[in-house]
Structure formats: C-alpha cells, structure tokens
Amino acid sequence: MKTNKAIEKSEENILHTYNRFQIVLDKGEGVYLCDVDGKKYLDFAAGIAVCALGYSNEEYKQALKDQVDKLMHVSNLYYNDPMTEAGEKVLKASGMSKVFFTNSGTEAIEGALKAAKRYAYNKAGHAGFEVIAMNHSFHGRSVGALSVTGTAHYREPFEPLMGGVKFADYNDLESVKAQVTDKTCAIIMETVQGEGGIYPADPEFLKGVRQLCDEKDIVLILDEIQCGMGRTGNYFAWQEYGVKPDIMTCAKALGNGVPVGAFVLNEKLAANSLEPGDHGTTYGGNPFVCAAVSKVFDIFEKDKIVEHVRELSPYLEQKLDELVDKHDCLETRRGKGFMQGLVVTGRPVGEIVNKAISNGLLVISAGSDVLRLVPPLVIEKEHIDEMIQKLEQSL
C-alpha cells in the first residue's frame, strides 16, 4: 500500500512532534478528501477549522494562480496591492481600524501582546506590566503565546517563559477581577475556547470583562483564530455578543489553507501602541497570501457563507443533540455554529476518532474528552446527515 510506504518515509525525515493518524491525504474536492490509496473521507475537521471553503474551489485556485504569475514576494520595504485590498476587507468585516498580517495565528498572538505592552509603556513611561489569561486556554506554541496558554502541561517543559502572566477562570468574572492590579495591561481570551474543550463565553462574562477593561484602561485581546471567519455564524464570534475587543487575532480560515494570520487593532490601540521599528516580519502581508485573503472575503460575500452557517447551524445542533440523547457515551453538546463539541464519557475520545476515520469520517478531539466538529463552512444538510450516519456507526 502507498500509505505504509509514505508514512515510513515521513518518519525517516520529519521531526516527530505530532502523533499523526495513519492516513496519507492526497487530494480534496468540495468537503471530501482522498488518501493515496483512493479511500474517500467526509471532512468534518477542515484542517483544524482552516479550510472554510472546502477543497478545490475554482475561484480561489484561480486567484492564487493569477498572483503566482504576477508576484510572489517583495518584502515589507514596499507596498503591494493585494495587501492593501486584503486589509480593507478585514477592516470592513471587523469594523476595526488597522491590521497587521502575520504568517500564523501564533505570530498574531505575539503581535497582539506586544501592542498591548507598548500601549501601556507609552501611557506610563515604563515597562513591567502584566497580562491576565484564562485557564484551559490555548494561544499557540511560541514562547510568548505559550506563556498565556492556560494548560500547564504545554508550558512546563519550556519554563521559564514570559513573566508577568496570571491566570483566571474562564466564564468567572470575579476570578478575573481578583487578578487585576495596577500593573495589568491586558486581558487575553478566546471568544470560544477551542483546544480547551469548546466552551463559548457567557454573554455576561464577556460584557463584564469589557466593562472592567474600560474602567481601568486595560487592553482586551480576543483570540478569534479558530472561532472567527464565519465559523459561529458571524464574521467574528464577538460580534454576536455586542462586545468589541481592543485587539483581535485571527488566522486559520482567513487564508483557507494558505498560511496567514493577522492582529487587528481598534482606533485607540492603532494610534497609541506600535511604532515603526517595534514589530515586523519578512513574509507577513506578502502578495501571494494576501491575494488568498482577499479572494476568501470575496467568496464569503458572494456566496453568503456567514448567512449559510447561521441558517444551517440549528439543523447541525439538532442532529447532534439527537445523537447525544441516543448514546450513553455522549454526555452533552457544546458550541456555536459550525464549531461544536460532544463530551465523551466512559471511553477514550481517541477511540471514537480512529473508528470514525476507518468509517470514512474525519473528526478531531479537543481537550481530554471532547469530540470536535469544525467542518468546512460550505457543508449542506446531506453532509450533516452523512456525518451523523458515519458517527453513529463509529459509536
């Protein structure tokens, strides 16, 4: 089999930092993927919430081909039109003021933290400020992003990390207030916790944190890397709450598979934080990735992707709730829109993930006991029905 040979070759050459599933994916079409041996899979993982438009979208592919023929890279020493166009579309969707394009979500977190610290430095005239993050959060694996990731086993092998970080409990406003001091410059949190187990923010909690930040001039950073770009039925999950961050991070579906992220600032932070020379990146905002971002927004608007998620979410939730009612090993469902989690009890969640793969369904886990479903945003009812059938077979 081609699969076995490909896996053996990969293990010879690639650093083993991922425990990969034993399949070798080769191509995709719509919401399906095929492996090198020709087996077909219904994809409800979307490259970990990345491939919002599914696979082999002709408009998207043509935009990338056209840009390859024109210009791939020039560095940030010069302007380029795709960056300008992509930036305009990000700001239109978010209603914010300025954007900085990065290469990944982790880099977006790094930039957001620097902007918040620089804002506090400019205001006070000295450094030494602190950040409050949430327990069970996940923001990335670089030193800065790892420092605000609220799961100890991710952090411990690499300590000491960035200092001045305190952790509060998600959806517990009093816990956050208890950590605030006159050194607090930022509060960072996911609008919907992803890796920690698919926990949406309670409206009262998010509004309370926003009010706290307003009262004390603390920067609110909302991480929308996984839950943003239409996944919860709005361009960005915070828009449903009516709570606007000072800085937002996004990535994943922003480029539909092309590696790109961004941090986006409101007017106050844009005018009073990072200055020329404070931050930079060689590849960030290059013409190729920004052509992808720009086309993603065009397709979202033309095909009404966000509206589609909003319309189909009740059906997905209904079918998942029925599955929970039917199977004792499923305790409950959590999530918003096309970001859903099923809490598994009485058996390892990895067992179900592997059984689903053997039945031609790609799903992933979150936390220690949650089956995570983050499909392409272009799924239809028949794909939900097929997913339920395959998942039930796996259970």
Q: Which helix (H) or strand (E) holds 380?
A: none
pLDDT at residue 1, as a whole number: 73
Strand, coil or helix: 77: coil
pLDDT at residue 313, as a whole number: 98
Question: For the sheet containing 247-250, what is the strand order?
Answer: 98-102, 261-265, 247-250, 219-223, 184-190, 130-134, 165-168
The whole-angstrom separation of Cα 38 and Cα 243 is 46
- C-alpha 151: how far from chain center: 17
pLDDT at residue 318, as a whole number: 98
The whole-angstrom separation of Cα 260 and Cα 231 is 17
Q: Which residues of 282-302 are buried (b: 16+ CB within 10 A; e: fewer)?
A: ebbbbbbbbbbbbbbbebbee
* Residue count of the chain: 395
The whole-angstrom separation of Cα 258 and Cα 266 is 26
Which parts of the chain sit beneath pLDDT 70? none
The whole-angstrom separation of Cα 133 and Cα 147 is 9
Cβ(121)–Cβ(127) under 8 Å?
yes
The whole-angstrom separation of Cα 37 and Cα 1 is 7
Q: Which helix (H) or strand (E) holds 137?
A: none
Q: Which helix (H) or strand (E) holds 179?
A: helix 173-179
Q: Which residues pair with 116 in a beta bridge?
A: none
Strand, coil or helix: 184: strand
Cβ(266)–Cβ(245) under 8 Å?
yes
pTM listed for this prediction: 0.97
In the chain, where the domains are located: 2-57+304-394, 71-302
Per-residue pLDDT tens digits for 297-308: 999 999 999 999
Which CATH architecture does the domain made up of 71-302 adopt?
3-Layer(aba) Sandwich (3.40)
* Residue with the two structure tokens 């998207």: 60
pLDDT at residue 147, as a whole number: 98
Of 309, 319, 339, 332, the residue nearest 386 (C-alpha): 319
Q: Quick one: CA torsion of 60, 62, 68, 69, rounded to 10 degrees? A: -160
**DSSP, residue by residue, 229-294:** TTTTSSSSTHHHHT---SEEEE-GGGTBTB--EEEEE-HHHHHHS--TTS---SSTT-HHHHHHHH
Does the fold of domain 71-302 match that of domain 2-57+304-394? no
Of 22, 20, 45, the residue nearest 33 (C-alpha): 45
Q: Does domain 2-57+304-394 match CATH 1.10.10.10? A: no
Q: Which residues pair with 223 in a beta bridge?
A: 190, 249
The whole-angstrom separation of Cα 42 and Cα 60 is 21
